[in-house]
Structure 1
Amino acid sequence: MTELDVRAMTPEEFDGWQAELAAGYAQEHVTAGNWPADEALARARRAIAVQLPDGTATPGELLLVGVLPDGSPIGRLWISLTHPRGLANCAHLQDIAVVADRRGQGLGRALLAAGERVARERGAHALELNVFGANETAARLYRTSGYRVVTQQMRKDLLA
């Protein structure tokens, strides 16, 4: 596996990441049929603002940048040390992303492993995540990294 470390995200990096995160999150919800396209970006921005009211200083939130040994940033992670459903000792992976020009090189797996290590060091016994059904690439990464389905939400469009 590629050698990779993580460091805290700077406030400047947070500003750029937050915009990318909102756009991607909005699109995932539109693709899933959860939100109308014209409202999606505003909804995503509000959701992120609620979860990260103090940006990089929000307690219990790990906002990390994955870096290669030469210091090159290759991706970002957001891990909540407190699970959204209150599961004891279970952190929640909110977001993981490898920069576009570095995808397909095994860095996502290395970034995920680095995030797991940090969560474990902070007292987490487990790490849970949600993945949108259309994101098969991410689902495959998680399955092959040892994650298993613990709940599943399904939908059938009745007007199609």
Structure 2
Amino acid sequence: MSLTLEPMGAAQFASWMNHVMQWYAQGKVDAGSWPEEGAFERARRENAEQLPDGVQTPGNHFFVGTVDGREVGFLWLHSDPDQSPPTATIEAIEVLESERGQGLGRALLEAAEGWCADHSIATLRLHVFGRNTAAINLYESAGFEATNVLMAKTIR
């Protein structure tokens, strides 16, 4: 099995980004960072600020992961070559639900690392919600280390 990254087209970007904003908003609600009311609208506003030119916003790279021509997942990288050392951040990574459990999450991570190496980017970063233990385990097993930890306690 060999995973390939293909550039994401504008139509697919619009559809996928709507899905990502729903996921992100729910993650913020579940983490206790945002109230449920208005969360999706807030995510869309933040996204519009981050990506004023959509799929064409400089420094952002959107990919479809394919295996044998079949879509299996998606990857959004943001690169900042002016940072020293040059860095990239995985803004979103997703394996299609029907394709999970086959090692494709790791393959997408490896493809992201390969893209970084090809673009002389020395550091790859990501954010993961604390309750997403499956993703945390995958990232740690792939060599990612915690660099910041934000913790909260509900006071009643």
TM-score range, shorter chain: over 0.9
TM-score, normalising length: structure 2: 0.95
Kept in 1: contact 2:3–2:65 (CA 8 A): yes
* Counterpart check, 1:141 vs 2:103: no
Counterpart in 2 of 1:78?
76
Q: Deviations over 1:105-146 (max 9, x none)?
A: 110100111011112212210101111101111111100101
Q: Which amino acid aligns with 1:130?
A: H
Q: CA deviation at 1:50?
A: 1.2
1:14 to partner: Cα distance: 0.2
1:51-130 correspondence to structure 2 within 5 Å: 51-68=50-67, 70-82=68-80, 88-130=85-127
Percent identity (aligned) = 39
What amino acid does structure 2 have at the position aligned with 1:71?
G
| 3-state SS of paired residue (2:138) | helix
Letter in 2 for 1:77: L
- Number of matched residues? 155
CA distance in 2, matches of 1:12, 1:47: 20
Partner of 2:14: 15
1:154 and 2:115 matched: no
Report Cα offsets for 1:52-106 as digits up to 9, x if no partner.
11111111111111011x21111101110028xx564111110000111111111
Q: Give 5+ residue unaligned stretches, structure 2.
A: none
The runs of 4+ residues in structure 1 deviating greater than 6 Å are none
Q: CA RMSD in A?
A: 1.3
Q: TM-score, normalised by structure 1?
A: 0.92
